[in-house]
Structure 1
Amino acid sequence: MSVAPLATQRVHVELYMRWMQESRCLKPSTIARRLSVVAMFYRTCVIDNVLDHSPSQHVRRPSAPPESPTLGLTHLQFEAMLTAGRESTNINDFALVAMLGLLGLRIFEATGADIETLSEIRGHRVIRIHGKGDKVAQVPLPPAVGRAIDRSVNGRQSGPILRTRTGTRMDRHCATRRLKALQGTSGVTIERMHPHMLRHTFVTTMLDAGVDLRDVQIAARHADPRTTMRYDRARDNLDRHHNYILAAFMASAT
C-alpha cells in the first residue's frame, strides 16, 4: 500500500508499526527509534502549518527494554581484541580497536577523525571529536591510544587517521570487516562483531571498574544518564548491592 506522506492517517502509522513487528520481526527498540523519526517529521509539519495535526500523535510505541540489547565484550575478550590489533600487520587495526574500546568513540567519530584534530592542551594529548548533535569534544589520549594512533598515522601530516589498505578513509563497513578479522585472530567467540560492541564495552568496563555513573556518562558523552544505565549489565549483581555499602558504613554499631 502506497500513501502520500502528507495524506497519512493514524491507521497507516499503526499498520507500519504492525508490519515492522510481524513481518520484519524487528526489536522493540528499533521500532521505537523508527517511529520516533516519523513522529518528529509530522511534528515539524504541524509546527510549520503544513498539517493540522500529527497522525502519529496517539500511536503507542513499543517500550524499549531497560537494558541495552547489545552485548559488550568481557574483560578477557577485550584484552584479546587489543592484543590482536596490536600484533596485526594492518597498521590501522590497533588504532581502530583502541579508539572504539578505550576512548568510547562512536564509529562515525572514529572514522571521521583527521590527523589535524590531534593537539596538546595543558600537557595532555587530545583529539577533537565531532559527535552527535553537532557537538565538539576534546578527548584525552591515554599513552596506549596515542601509540596506536601514531602507528596508524605513520608519519603523515594530514588526512584521515584510519584508512583502508588502498589509502582511502575507512568507513563503518570496512571497520566492521577489520573487527571481524581481528575476532577470528583473537579467538573471541561471539555471535556478531560490530563497532558499537566496543563502545558498549567501553561503558561496561568502566562501570565494572567502579567508575562513578556520572563520570561514565561524561566520558561516553551521553546527554541522559538513563542511556548510560542501560549499558550497566551488572546492575543486578548482588556483590554490588547497596545493602553491603550501608552495612560497612554502620559496622561500628553492628
Structure 2
Amino acid sequence: MDQSTALLAPSPSTTPDELAARTFLARYSGPTLETYTFALKKYLRWCDSNGLDPLQVKRPILELYVRWMENSGIARSTLAHQLGVVRGYYRFAAIDEFIPKNPAEFVRVPRYAEDEARMLGLDRFELGAMLQAARTANPTEWALVVLMGMLGLRVSEACSIQVQDFQHHEGGHRVLKFTGKGGKRATIPLPVPVQRALDAAAGERTEGPLLFRQSGRRKGTPHCRTSVRPVIERLARQAKIDRHVHSHMLRHSFVGVALDAGVSLRDVQLAARHRSSNTTAQYDRRRRRHDGHGVHTVAAFLDGTS
C-alpha cells in the first residue's frame, strides 16, 4: 500500500502509520497544512519506494533520506524545512505512543545561509513605487499590493479576502475581518488610502472574492498563492526595482517600513500578528545591521591618526 495514502480521506481500515500521519497533520490548517502535507507525502513515498515501514525506521535510515534529498538538488533551506516536517511527524508519533522512541531526535539538519535581503523587504521608496505601479495596472493589483504592503497580510490571507470582509465598522473605524494563519480571527482598521484601493477592486460587488486573475488561461477566477507570484514580479519590474521581489517580501516590507516610521516594536508585532516578539525583533536587527555596525566606531576612533 502506498504510504502517501496516509494523507487521504479516512478509510475503514486505517493502519498505524496512516493514523500517525493524520493525527500529526490535524494540528495544522490552511497553507501550513498544505506545505506540511506535501513534505510528509514526499517522505512517505520515499519510504514506500524503499520498502520501509515509517514507524519502524531508525536514525541511520533518516540520515540516508537527508543525503537523498541533498542529492536531489533542492535548495538547502527547502531541505531543512521539509526535514523539519519529518522530524515533527516523528516527535508526535513518539508523544502519541505510535513508536517507543523518536528516531529523528539526533538527525543531522543541514546548515544553510539565510538570505537577509529576503527578510529586509523593500524600503519606503521601493514600496511606494510598487504601489504606484499596481495602481496604474488595475484595481485588483492595486488592492493586492495594498493588502500585503500596507496591511501586512500574508499572500494566502490576501487571496482569501472577501468583499464582505471589509464592510464592518468598529469604534468609529472601518475594519477588515478575516481568518489568518492558524485559523485565528484578525481585525485590522483600514486607513482611507486602503479603503479606496479595496473599494476600487470590489467595484459594485457586495460579496464574493475580492481578487481575481486579470489575464491568462484562468482569467476571471480567484487569485491564489501561485497566481500572485508572477503579478508581483511583473509589478517589481515596472517599478524598476533591480532585485528579485517575491510575494512574501511585501509583508516583510510592511514590517520594515513600520519600524522605519517609528512604530514601536510591540505595536509592529501586534500589527504583523507575530506570535513572538523575537520574530519582529529579527527584522529590526537586520534593518539596523549596517547603521550600527562596529566599523563606523572604529573608523571614527582612528580618523586623523594616519
Q: Report TM bin, short chain.
A: 0.7 to 0.9
- 1:236 to 2:285 alignment: no
The aligned residue for residue 33 of structure 1 is 81
Corresponding pairs, count: 239
Q: Which has the higher contact order (CA 8 A, sep 6+)?
A: 1
Alignment partners' CA distance in 1, 2:183 and 2:293: 37
The one-character-per-residue Cα deviations of 1:40-69 (angstroms, maximum 9, x if unpaired) are: 211222233221111111224346768756
1:116 alignment counterpart = 164
Give 2:79's aligned amino acid.
I
1:137 is aligned to 186
User: 1:40 & 1:47 partners in 2: Cα distance?
Assistant: 10
Which structure: greater helix fraction? Answer: 2
> Which of the residues 271, 274, 279 maps onto 1:219?
271
Aligned-pair distance for 1:7? 2.6
- Choose which of 225, 238, 258 in structure 2 pairs with 1:206: 258
Q: Distance in 1 between matches of 2:112 and 2:182?
A: 22
Match of 2:96 in 1: 48
Q: Distance in 2 between matches of 1:98 and 1:4?
A: 48
> Could you report, residue by residue, the CA deviation over 1:100-137 in whole angstroms, capped at 9, with x for unpaired residues?
10000001100011112121111111111211111111
Q: What's 1:18 paired with? A: 67
What amino acid maps onto 1:177 in structure 2? Answer: P
Q: Secondary structure at the match of 1:41?
A: helix
Q: Structure 1 83/139 Cα, relative in aligned 2: closer, same or farther at 3 Å? A: same
Answer yes or no: is the 8 Å Cα contact 1:176–1:193 preserved in 2. no
Rounded to whole Å, the distance in 2 between the matches of 1:224 and 1:111 is 25
User: What is the percentage of aligned positions where both structures have the same residue?
Assistant: 39
| CA distance, structure 2, for counterparts of residue 213 and residue 101 of structure 1 | 18
Match of 2:148 in 1: 100
- The CA distance in 2 between the partners of 1:193 and 1:66, in whole Å, is 16
Cα distance change, pair 235–18 in 1 and its aligned pair in 2 (3 A)? farther
Under a length normalisation based on structure 2, what TM-score does the superposition of the two structures give? 0.71
Are residues 69 and 83 of structure 1, via their aligned partners in 2, closer, same or farther at CA, if it must alter by over 3 Å?
A: closer
Q: What displacement does 1:220 show?
A: 0.8
Q: Could you say what secondary structure the match of 1:125 adopts?
A: strand
Match of 2:234 among 168, 178, 181: 181
RMSD of aligned alpha carbons: 2.4
Q: TM-score, normalised by structure 1?
A: 0.84
Q: Which residue of 1 aligns with 2:130?
A: 81
Aligned to 1:252: none
Q: 1:53 to 1:109 in 2, by over 3 A?
A: same
Amino acid at match of 1:92: T
**SS, match of residue 231 in structure 1:** helix
Q: 1:160 maps to what in 2?
A: 209
Q: In structure 2, what is the Cα distance between the partners aligned to 1:62 and 1:205? A: 33
Unmatched 5+ stretches in structure 2:
1-48, 295-306
Whole-Å separation in 2 of the counterparts to 1:26 and 1:16: 15
Corresponding residue of 1:249: none
